[in-house]
Amino acid sequence: MAATASVTAEESVPPAAPERLVTAGFQTSLFFAFLGTWTALLPATGITLALKVNQIDPAGKATSLSLVLGVGAFVALVAQNIFGALSDRTSSRFGMRRPWILGGMVTGAASLLGLAFASNIPMLVGTWALTQLTFNILLAGLNPVIPDQVPRRQLGRVSGLIGITQVIAGVAGAFLAQAFLPDLTAAILIPGVALLVLVTVFLFVLKDRRLRREDVAPFDLLLFLKAFWTSPRKAPDFALAWVSRLLVTFGNMTLANYQLYFLLDRFGFTQANVGQAVLLLTLIGAATTIPTSILLGRLSDRLGRRKMFVLLSAIIVAVAHIVAAMAPSFAVFVIAAVVAGLALGAYLAVDQALIAEVLPSRGDVAKDMGVLHLANVLPQTLVPVTAPLFLMIGGGDNYAALFIGGAIVAIIGAIVNQFIRSVR
């Protein structure tokens, strides 16, 4: 009932760029909402899902993981676009974004149950697809909050703050996984508790945009589907930002998705102790990413420049991947993690800020954010599909080819970003 009272006091907000500065309390609650979301999702993508596949199909783990990730990525590809567009049309008295955040939170937590108890690869494919569906409903409500609420002069700071939630969640997830392993069920389910608590707090803090029913055009399926296409001729900077994010994300994921198997195969870790190695690498990455992101986010706002940080990030990514690919020992691989943390910090500092500045329409924020989210999701399909091709070079398990290939793709993405004209 308290939530209803707070919502009815909200006023309808026109689809114009926000000008009022957001408060520290809003930034904090938004930060923890994203943190809760990523804490529930990232351990599965980086640790527990890979271990679950290894437990079920140790002989064919790389191929099976590619199948699980690929199907889940396809579901995510469609889900956030559809629900983001529906969010832009939502005229609920609870607001435009809140119903989707609430629905995604509840169903996302429930989907983790299915994931935890999957006992074969087909079940794992289905439950991971469901997890991707529900969490993308949640993100379809959360992601538009930044362009909805945050003015341009705070975009770099808030972008850096929200960006590091993935890094902190990676640390928290690795810590929780290590704490509960080898009990994979607990390692998957416990982060769901953080999701429920932290997102619920934000639901009470959010002063959501409200859309009047008379401002919603009658639903037309053909127009709805056409809305997912944004002409590069009409919005060239939006198109360039999309391609750049796709390529940079692809490059980053080649190392992130196959790091665990690299540790198992190259350095002799086992399922019993690999969690400790991943936790160490995650902590080291966070120690470099978080301060870098915060400092460069503020510097980006002060200088009014975004693109130079994307280029800097890609160059450092290339160095990190080359060091990782050639690492003769785990100690050298740790150095690669330090370098990768610096690269991620530079990218997260400006990514959301740059995206918010090239959106083609203030009236379709969630839909456009959903289209841009495709650039995050497509690599989740493309990397598992292309990774086996790199890995089989020279007889198999060629992680060096995979990591260096990813570095090259990230560099190309950063070069594409430099052609954006409306952002410095």
Q: What are the tens digits of pLDDT across the range 34-68?
A: 999 999 987 776 678 888 888 888 878 777 887 88
Q: List the chain domain ranges.
A: 24-209+223-417
Contact 411, 316 (CB under 8 A): no
The reported pLDDT for the residue numbered 50 is 80
pLDDT confidence of 16, banded at 50, 70, 90?
A: low
The reported pLDDT for the residue numbered 37 is 94
Q: In whole angstroms, give the CA distance from residue 315 to residue 317.
A: 5
On the question of pLDDT at 255 being above 60, the answer is yes
The reported pLDDT for the residue numbered 202 is 95
The token pair that represents 90 in the structure block: 């939502």
Each residue of 342-360: pLDDT tens digit?
Answer: 888 788 777 767 777 777 7
Instruction: Find the DSSP H helices in 91-120.
Output: 98-116
Each residue of 141-169: pLDDT tens digit?
Answer: 998 888 888 887 787 778 778 878 877 88
To the question of pTM greater than 0.85 for the whole model, the response is no
pLDDT confidence of 9, banded at 50, 70, 90?
A: very low
pLDDT confidence of 29, banded at 50, 70, 90?
A: very high
Residue environment code for 63-85, b if the CB has 16+ CB neighbours within 10 A, otherwise e: bbbbbbbbbbbbbbbbbbbbbbb
User: What average pLDDT is seen over the chain?
Assistant: 80
Each residue of 100-135: pLDDT tens digit?
Answer: 999 999 999 999 998 888 888 999 999 999 999 999
The token pair that represents 144 in the structure block: 């538009």
pLDDT confidence of 7, banded at 50, 70, 90?
A: very low
Q: What is the 3-state secondary structure (H, E, C) of 277-316?
A: HHHHHHHHHHHHHHHHHHHHHHHHHHHCCCHHHHHHHHHH
Each residue of 271-309: pLDDT tens digit?
Answer: 777 778 877 887 888 888 888 877 887 787 788 778 888
On the question of pLDDT at 99 being above 60, the answer is yes
Which residues 6+ apart lie within 8 Å of 233 measured at CB? none
Radius of gyration of the CA atoms of the chain, in A: 21
Q: In whole angstroms, give the CA distance from residue 40 to residue 142.
A: 15
**Share above pLDDT 90 across residues of the chain, in percent, rounded to a whole number:** 14
CA 67 from centroid of its chain's CA atoms = 20
Instruction: Identify the three-state secondary structure at position 243.
Output: helix
Each residue of 202-241: pLDDT tens digit?
Answer: 999 998 887 777 666 666 666 556 655 666 777 788 888 8
Contact 47, 175 (CB under 8 A): no
On the question of pLDDT at 10 being above 70, the answer is no
The reported pLDDT for the residue numbered 197 is 94
The reported pLDDT for the residue numbered 293 is 79
On the question of pLDDT at 8 being above 50, the answer is no
On the question of pLDDT at 31 being above 90, the answer is yes
The reported pLDDT for the residue numbered 119 is 84
pLDDT confidence of 12, banded at 50, 70, 90?
A: very low
Domain spanning 24-209+223-417 has what CATH number?
Answer: 1.20.1250.20
Residue range 170-190: average pLDDT?
Answer: 78
On the question of pLDDT at 13 being above 60, the answer is no
Give first-to-last CA distance, the chain, whole Å.
46
- Answer with the residue of higher pLDDT: 163 or 243: 243
